Amino acid sequence: AQALAIGLDKLSLPLGQVRAAAHRVVHGGMRLTQTCRITPEVEAEIEACAGFAPLHNPPALAGIRAVAKLWSAVPQYAAFDTAFHAANPEVATGYALPMAERVRGLRRYGFHGLSYAAIVRKVQLISGKTVPKRMLSFHLGNGASACAILNGRSVASSMGFSPLDGLTMGTRPGGLDPAVVLDMAARHGVDGAARILNRDCGLKGLAGTNDMRALHAAGTPEAAFAIEHFCYWAARHGASLCAAMGGLDAITFTGGIGENDGITRSKIVKHLAFLGAVIDADANARGDHALHAATSSVAIWTVPADEERQIAMEAAAAMDREGPK
């Protein structure tokens, strides 16, 4: 609340010019599947999902409540990272669990949806064409995931019930045998295991830091292994997602690592060479938008993250659906 008050003061933004406040909320659960106005019921549902995304939903709630105190008359909207994946087919989202567990909401949700929605929008601008039919998108940062986008719509994601699953991340392990989690819970307690899995695994667990730049500079065997682990599992999950689309026409990279780390991009694309992806080394080193070599049968692009604009656009659309007040 204090930081928000300072930021608004620096902006010198008259309250009368503010139409609404919009927030990124990572986990919307089963019920919150599109950007919507925040009501007490919506806020309660976001809080109910906080245990599924403990690094994200609680800070989002803090932001929502801070705005409510500062600007009580301003309507607020929530945009959900899970919403872009809400229409995934049930075969892609359902775990092989008893029905009683599935109806409680234990299923794959997928995340980074606002980033992927922005990618679909921006690829049309970058390519000057329609979105490729089968697009494999990587969001690579401290949090990392991959998404299969078929005809502009998500059909599968590497993340699951929570943002812990899938690719190796900055401090999260990605995919684990459930028995590993059971063993850690027995040894460290549920809360202790949750803390380790959310904050002490991934690149940090492998090499002591979740800063990819520091890993490249370290020159140690542990750092080299962490980088290889990150790239190997990104490509391996990515190849699996291509099966959900029946092939591959384009690859996109976004996020702090995806946009800025040519070494990581090159390693991932080399793992995917069997799908026809060939990267242009010079374009990749320069950080161009278009990275595919002339011999590549797959388009490869870097796409600057644009989640804030996506949130604003979706909130404006929700306001339009409500009609004049």
Q: Is 289 helix (H, G, I), strand (E, B) or coil?
A: coil
81, 165, 249, 261: which one is catalytic?
Answer: 81
Q: Where would I find the beta strands (DSSP E) of the chain?
A: 21-25, 36-37, 76-80, 134-140, 144-150, 153-157, 250-254, 299-302
Backbone angles phi, psi at 113, to 5 degrees: -65, -35
Rounded Cα distance, 251 and 300, in Å: 5
Rounded Cα distance, 38 and 146, in Å: 29
Tokens at 87, concatenated? 């229409």
- Dihedral sign for Cα 20, 24, 27, 30, please: positive
Backbone angles phi, psi at 130, to 5 degrees: -75, 165
Tokens at 189, concatenated? 């307690």
- Dihedral sign for Cα 239, 129, 151, 286, please: positive
Rounded Cα distance, 251 and 272, in Å: 10
Q: Is 217 helix (H, G, I), strand (E, B) or coil?
A: helix
Determine whether 183 is an active site residue: no
Q: Which helix (H) or strand (E) holds 80?
A: strand 76-80
Judge whether 298 and 248 are in contact, CB under 8 Å. Answer: yes
Look-up: residue for tokens 């950080």? 287
Q: Which helix (H) or strand (E) holds 302?
A: strand 299-302
CA dihedral 284, 249, 160, 46 (to 10 degrees): 80
Relative to beta strand 134-140, strand 250-254 is parallel
Judge whether 80 and 33 are in contact, CB under 8 Å. Answer: yes
Q: Give the neighbor-by-neighbor strand order of the sheet with 76-80.
A: 21-25, 76-80, 36-37
Q: Where in the sequence numbering do the catalytic residues fall?
A: 81
